[in-house]
Amino acid sequence: MSLDPSTEDRRIRSLRPPKARVDPFKPLGVLLEEESRPGRREPVLTVFLAGSECPFTCSFCDLWRNTLDIPTPVGALPWQLGSALSQARRLGHVVRRVKLYNGSSFFDPRAVPLQDWRALAELLAPFQGVTVECHARLVGPRCRDFANRLAGRLEVAVGLETIHPGALPRLNKKMTLGDFDRAALFLRQANLDLRVFVLVGTPFVPPAEAVSWAVRSVEYALNRGASIVSLIPVRGGNGELERLAAKGHFHPPTLAQLEDALRASLRGQRGVVIADLWDVSRFRDCPACGSERLARIRRMNASGRPEPALSCGTCR
């Protein structure tokens, strides 16, 4: 499988603003949050790790901003994770689940050196659950091999993004639904958990259909064994999305669309569906209902139960 940059990759990257400067021996951030899990709520420690940029240049991606242009140095990630866990202990945080988000694929050796697996597994020994992220095409035996090193249970987060037949092939993700299905099947047969990311406001999806396609994509993920699906509003600012917006191919999502997608996905769903609220202030576009709508999304994230639709005379 070739991961060399294509002409389209280089074109997309040429439109980006400069990256932030990151220290490969310092974690990007540590966050403690309450998260819905199947049948319960529990505290989760999220560690944002600095590492090599993902080789898949998706048109909607904003994770490249805090990545390295070189392979992640051997020893850097254990150092970052150890520092993050020490910070959490100093603040008195005692949690049993940790999410490691490195802005790439955990099972890409350029991003996470195989030489670091042993040290990472030792640091993760106190946790009952560990979540990492990975592109569907890199899901395979390495997932099972790393899971076997852990004391706790491994969950792999995979971006499905959308099942819209006209949009998915145009996102430069280099993934088909077949690739996703194979990844989901592998994880299920390996007895590993699957978390899925679904976009709201996907490029090339008409805005009037943004909610319905997000909901259909959530259902698709749940039908393939996802225990948690996270709805991600597409965030502009990478240059390519602005180019697509100028051509009428991208319409930034609204807070109302995110709420509608979450509400509809919670009706009769079999797994956990939550809305991602990272940097959500940029979507609070209506002064009349924005604060109330955000509060409703937070409540639905916590309860897992849909609330009645909110009628706003200003934005709709």
pLDDT at 3: 62
The answer to whether residues 195 and 36 touch, using CB atoms and an 8 Å cutoff, is no
Specify which residues 28 forms β-bridges with.
Answer: none
Domains of the chain (ranges, CATH numbers): 7-303 (3.20.20.70)
- Parts of the chain with a pLDDT under 70: 1-3, 269, 284, 316
User: What is the model's pTM?
Assistant: 0.95
What is the per-residue pLDDT across 229-257, written as a single tens digit (0 to 9) for each? Answer: 999 999 999 999 999 999 999 999 999 99
What is the per-residue pLDDT across 186-235, written as a single tens digit (0 to 9) for each? Answer: 999 999 999 999 999 999 999 999 999 999 999 999 999 999 999 999 99
pLDDT at 38: 83
H-helix or E-strand spanning residue 100: strand 97-101
pLDDT at 280: 83
Identify the three-state secondary structure at position 182: helix
Q: What is the DSSP letter of 31?
A: E
Residue 235 carries which side chain, given as an amino acid letter?
A: R
The DSSP result for 270-305, as a single string, is SSEEEE--TTGGGG---TTTHHHHHHHHHHHHHH--
* End-to-end CA gap in the chain: 47
Q: Which residues contact 118 (CB under 8 A, 6 or more apart)?
A: 149
pLDDT at 290: 79
Measured torsion, CA atoms of residues 220, 223, 227, 230, in degrees rounded to the nearest 10: 10
pLDDT at 284: 65
